[in-house]
């Protein structure tokens, strides 16, 4: 799927809309104030329940993203190495083509002189 295509935008909307509706319904349904204490720290926080739920979901999302990013490190490394190899081979190919052209240019006058 190409970025910016209408199909990609539609797919994003199909996924995003239900999630947004679920988050709004969760926030509206859980407005009760709860007391949160982080043991062994002193003090408590009085927060709406939906804030605790949403913060927990965001932290979980971020941890999952970091884990996925770390899991893809090997693939990204292989891709960088492949790109480096491709650049090296392209340079070698252009050098070989240049040498071939130079050899043909030198051989052409000698061939004409022999005739």
Do the beta carbons of residue 33 and residue 47 sit within 8 Å? yes
- Domain-embedded: residue 62: no
Assess whether the previous peptide bond of 40 is cis (omega < 30° from 0): yes
Report the distance separating Cα 96 and Cα 104, nearest Å.
Answer: 12
- Domain-embedded: residue 113: yes
Domain of residue 87, residue span: 72-115
The secondary structure of the chain in percent helix, strand, coil, rounded to multiples of 5, reads 75, 10, 15
Report the distance separating Cα 19 and Cα 24, nearest Å.
Answer: 9
Radius of gyration of the chain (CA): 31
Bridge partners (DSSP) listed for residue 37: 44
What is the tens place of the pLDDT at every residue in 22-76? 988 988 998 999 999 988 989 999 999 999 989 999 999 999 999 999 999 999 9
What is the domain count for the chain?
A: 1
The pTM assigned to this predicted structure is 0.60
- Domain-embedded: residue 83: yes
- Domain-embedded: residue 41: no
- Domain-embedded: residue 92: yes
């Amino acid at each position: 799927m190409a970025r910016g295509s209408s199909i990609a935008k539609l797919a994003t909307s199909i996924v995003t809309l239900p999630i947004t509706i679920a988050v709004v319904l969760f926030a509206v349904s859980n407005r009760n104030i709860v007391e949160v204490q982080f043991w062994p720290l002193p003090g408590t926080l009085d927060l709406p329940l939906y804030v605790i739920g949403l913060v927990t979901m965001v932290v979980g999302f971020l941890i999952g993203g970091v884990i996925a990013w770390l899991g893809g490190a090997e693939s990204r490394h292989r891709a960088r190495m492949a790109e480096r190899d491709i650049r090296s081979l392209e340079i070698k190919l252009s050098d070989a083509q240049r040498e071939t052209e130079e050899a043909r240019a030198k051989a052409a006058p000698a061939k004409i002189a022999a005739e």
